[in-house]
Amino acid sequence: MKAFQLTAWQQPPELRDVPIPEPGAGQVLVRVGGAGACHSDLHLMEWPEGAMDVSLPFTLGHENAGWVAALGAGVEGVAEGEPVAVYGPWGCGRCAPCRRSAENSCERQAEIGAFGGGLGLDGGMAEYLLVPSSRLLLPLGDLDPRDAAPLSDAALTPYHAIKRALPRLHPGWTAAVIGVGGLGHMAVELLRALTPARIVAVDRDPGRLVLAREVGADEAFAAGPEAIGEIREATRGLGADVVLDIVGSDETIALAAAVAKVEGTVNVLGLAGGSITWQAMGVLPWECELTTTYWGTAIELMEVLELAAAGRIRARTRRYALDDVATAYDDLRAGRIDGRAVICPAGV
Ligand code: NAD
Ligand code: ZN
Ligand code: ZN
């Protein structure tokens, strides 16, 4: 089968011929229907050796959905042909965080030596994906795997961040979303679906501001020095109670800190490598938290799938054949994707 593999650090990935994996005891082979192209993959292609503690080569694609194709010995609970979403952070399955379905916080990640398929182990940019356990598969019901793939990261990650911030998202309170890309457009939809809060969005691309309004933002502002004043004006001068920075550059973290409210929270989801010099006084408003997010739990993914099944959220996608996977990443890098690029190895 064909698989899009990262074979050397800071080199373009290659579409290579590799054997179809055989599921061993406890494992499940999934035929990939959709694999989302995440901006984290672009970071991975750029990071030097050692930035992420995993070995090469591996197949990219950590945002996957498809159909159960074959079961290893002893696998129960899933049937061949069943449509499934693949929960992406693959932990040990046994430690306390894993047992509460938070494999994104697995205590044994360092021993495992990989973060999941597409992040150290072979991922979904291929015809088939080997999943280590049926516990990582969630039933899709009537959702099409090509539409559902982005739910497992582009939606799950902001969902996890928003759930943590729900006590601050009452009527009259404000959430600001910086970066309305794959994750950001889902963040706006999720805020709309889950909360009565006012939503303001910021992006440097004018097309994304249109998208932000389409998916539920009350106001959308161009990134730049004026954005601070515009957000303050939209919040009676007080700032936003919840700021989700889904870019994570020096520039956006500074913006996030500048528009946050007293007692607010700034959550940096983006991995662009930015920083801020923290001081007890003057950098953030009084009693404002600064935090990060890493992916989400399997139970939260079940909740995200419920929202999608009920029609309350929908990822905007552009589909690509597996042969065009390199073009999909080029389009993502160039900012040409509204929503998420999804690679569809079983047909667009
Ligand atoms: P994307 O490329 O689809 O979207 C990024 C958006 O940010 C684009 O709309 C772009 O125009 C906008 N943008 C870029 N620079 C900007 C700036 N200076 N000001 C305002 N807007 C700006 O990317 P994505 O797939 O949504 O990923 C976003 C970030 O989230 C990436 O850094 C990715 O690695 C990270 N990520 C983190 C997690 C996690 O668990 N923490 C999970 C997935 C992705
Ligand atoms: Zn991702
Ligand atoms: Zn664990």
**Per-residue pLDDT tens for 19-60?**
999 999 999 999 999 999 999 999 999 999 999 999 999 999
- Please state, for a pLDDT cut of 90, what percent of the chain lies above it: 100
Residue in 106, 162, 177 with CA at minimum distance from that of residue 136: 106
* Segment 311-324 mean pLDDT: 98
Sign, CA dihedral 6-27-297-151, equals positive
Tell which residue, 19, 15, 101, 17, has the closest CA to residue 61: 15
Q: What is the pLDDT averaged over residues 329-337?
A: 98
Helix axis angle, 250-259 relative to 226-234, nearest 10°? 30
Q: What is the pLDDT of residues 236-249, one digit of tens each?
A: 999 999 999 999 99
213 three-state secondary structure? helix
pLDDT in tens, 75-120: 999 999 999 999 999 999 999 999 999 999 999 999 999 999 999 9
pLDDT confidence bin for 13, thresholds 50/70/90: very high
Q: Which residue do the tokens 């694999």 mark?
A: 35
- Residue with the smallest CA separation from ligand 1 atom 8 is 181
Residue extents of the structural domains in the chain: 2-150+296-343, 156-292
Q: What is the pTM of this model?
A: 0.98
Q: Count CA atoms within 13 Å of residue 89 on its CB side.
A: 24
**Neighbouring residues of the ion ligand 2, judged by CB less than 5 Å:** 38, 40, 153
The pLDDT-based confidence of 348 (bands split at 50, 70, 90) is: very high
Q: Please give the pLDDT value at position 3.
A: 98
Q: What is the 3-state secondary structure (H, E, C) of 117-139?
A: ECEEECCCCECEEEECCHHHEEE
Ligand 1, residues 246, 268, 293, 301: which to mutate, most atoms within 8 A of Cβ? 246
pLDDT band at 310, cuts 50/70/90? very high
Atom of ligand 1 at shortest distance to CA of 293?
41
pLDDT per residue over 148-167, tens digit each? 999 999 999 999 999 999 99
pLDDT at residue 105 in the model:
98
Calculate the average pLDDT of the chain: 98
Mean pLDDT of 196-214: 98
Q: What are the start-end ranges of the E strands in 165-308?
A: 174-178, 198-203, 219-222, 240-245, 260-268, 289-292
Distance 94 CA to ligand 3 centre (A): 5
CA distance to 48, 101, 255, 259, per residue, from 63 (Å): 23, 17, 29, 31
Tell me whether the CATH fold assigned to 2-150+296-343 matches the one assigned to 156-292: no
> Does a cis peptide bond (omega within 30 degrees of 0) precede residue 158?
no
Look at domain 156-292 and name its CATH class.
alpha beta
Whole-angstrom Cα distance, residue 275 to residue 174?
24
CATH 3.90.180.10 fits 2-150+296-343, yes or no: yes
User: Which of the listed residues 269, 297, 329 should we mutate to test ligand 1's pocket, taking the one with most ligand atoms within 8 A of CB?
Assistant: 269
According to the model, what pLDDT value does residue 45 have? 96
pLDDT, one tens digit per residue, over 252-276 is 999 999 999 999 999 999 999 999 9
Tokens of 267: 């959550």
Q: How far is the CA of 41 from the centre of ligand 2 (A)?
A: 7
Look up residue 230 and give its two tokens. 């515009």
Per-residue DSSP letter, 52 = S
In contact, 213 and 220? CB cutoff 8 Å:
yes
CA nearest ligand 1 atom 23, residue: 39
Are 226 and 255 in contact by the 8 Å Cβ rule? The answer is: no
Position 329 scores a pLDDT of: 98
Separation of CA 89 and ligand 3 centre (Å): 10
